[in-house]
Amino acid sequence: MTDEEIREENSLVERAKRNPEAFGKLYDKYFEGIFHFVFRRTDDEDLAGDLTSQTFLKALQNIRKYEFKGLPFSAWLYRIAANEVNKHYYSKKRTRVFSLEEERIMEIFEQNDHQFTQSQIDLLVKSLNELPTETMEVLEMRFFEGKNFREISYILNIGESGAKMRLYRAIDKLRKNFNLNWEE
């Protein structure tokens, strides 16, 4: 998103602060992104639908408190969504889930479908399972959501250097076994 687009979007947000009907455009624009994000972290379609609705409801209720920080509005929505997912896991005391698309995994690890053997898939899942959850969150935001470090640090409420450090450590570990198709 360019700076111009971000500023334009912010004028829409300012309108939505005064008129909830205007928020509908932001809802239409970001619904799928937020749904994908929540679904990747729950692997449950109905739950993802509920948490996505909850995210937008919270956003609508608190939009007056939103302050423009030079980031896309979606960063604020992702932050609310991440909190909603965290709250869900905290209250249900369940093991966190990261449901990742195989197709995207192939792209990241530079493999074609037929080249990726079952043992490699098992090794990959094992490697990702061994990573700390906090690191997995950063990895997922960077590789699957395509967020930059500034957005990741805002969404996960951590320092930018902390986010980078987590990701580089994860990449170092994964590069021991896989050919990772990623450059900063």
Site residues (vs other proteins, CB under 8 A): 20-21, 24, 27-28, 31-32, 35-36, 39, 43, 45-46, 48-49, 52-53, 56-57, 60-61, 95-103, 105, 121, 125, 128-129, 132-134, 136
Residue nearer to other proteins on the CB measure, 99 or 181: 99
Q: For the CB of residue 74, give the shortest distance to other proteins in the complex, in Å.
A: 16
What tokens were used for 178?
């896989």
Residue nearer to other proteins on the CB measure, 43 or 172: 43
Residue nearer to other proteins on the CB measure, 7 or 123: 123
Phi-psi region of 48 (alpha: psi -120 to 50; beta: other; left: phi over 0): alpha
Q: For the CB of residue 126, give the shortest distance to other proteins in the complex, in Å.
A: 9
Q: For the CB of residue 170, give the shortest distance to other proteins in the complex, in Å.
A: 13
Residue 150 contacts residue 100 (beta carbons within 8 Å)? no
Q: For the CB of residue 3, give the shortest distance to other proteins in the complex, in Å.
A: 28
Residue nearer to other proteins on the CB measure, 50 or 160: 50
Residue nearer to other proteins on the CB measure, 2 or 119: 119
CA geometry: angle at 62 spanning 59 and 67, to 5°?
95
Site of tokens 């074609």 = 112
Q: For the CB of residue 145, give the shortest distance to other proteins in the complex, in Å.
A: 14
For 56, 62, 68, 70, 160, the CA distances from 27, given in Å and listed in that order, are 7, 14, 18, 20, 28
Which candidate, 139, 143, 105, places its Cα nearest to that of 125?
A: 105
Rg (CA), the chain: 18
